[in-house]
Structure 1
Amino acid sequence: MKSKKHLLSFISILIGAICLLTYEAIGTKVEPDGALVEPFFLLPLSYLFIFVGIILLLFTSITSVLKRK
């Protein structure tokens, strides 16, 4: 790996992608009484992990460029 400082951001983005894939794999269903059953909590978690990963990636990249100058 080129740089270990980007590892945390890549792991965060990977966890977000796994949450999205898990949400799609589990799917949704409607119970006989009309209740909707879905793993909704995975959507905001995935967006949060992806957002944090992108912010960390930008932050570490910018600080790396500034340290070189």
Structure 2
Amino acid sequence: MMSYKKIIVASVPLILGVIFMIALAFAPSSVQQDGMLYEPYFFLVPVSVLFIFIGVIALMIMAITKIKKNIKHR
């Protein structure tokens, strides 16, 4: 049986990535006088994508190892 601690640790980056995306949606952005887009929290875009990617990969690795263990015990 898979430990719930492992599932929580693997899903925390995924949840953080989604929270960062939601925060980015509510962050103020504006177009300046010279036509430049001003987004003070633009760094959240790559950070959130990275966290989502890490979370998905971690959960996939956990699922694959669980499937392999179940196949071995049959």
TM-score by length of 2: 0.77
Matches within 5 A, 1:1-69: 3-32=4-33, 34-38=35-39, 39-68=41-70, 69=72
Using the alignment, how far apart are the partners of 2:58 and 2:28 within structure 1?
30
Amino acid at match of 2:45: L
Q: Which moved more, 1:2-11 or 1:18-27?
A: 2-11
Gaps of 5+ in 1: none
Percent identity among equivalent residues? 37
Task: Number of aligned residue pairs: give it.
Answer: 68
Using the alignment, how far apart are the partners of 2:7 and 2:13 within structure 1?
10
Moved over 2 A (4+): 30-36
Amino acid at match of 1:12: P
Gaps of 5+ in 2: none
Question: In angstroms, what is the RMSD of aligned CA positions?
Answer: 1.6
Using the alignment, how far apart are the partners of 1:9 and 1:40 within structure 2?
25
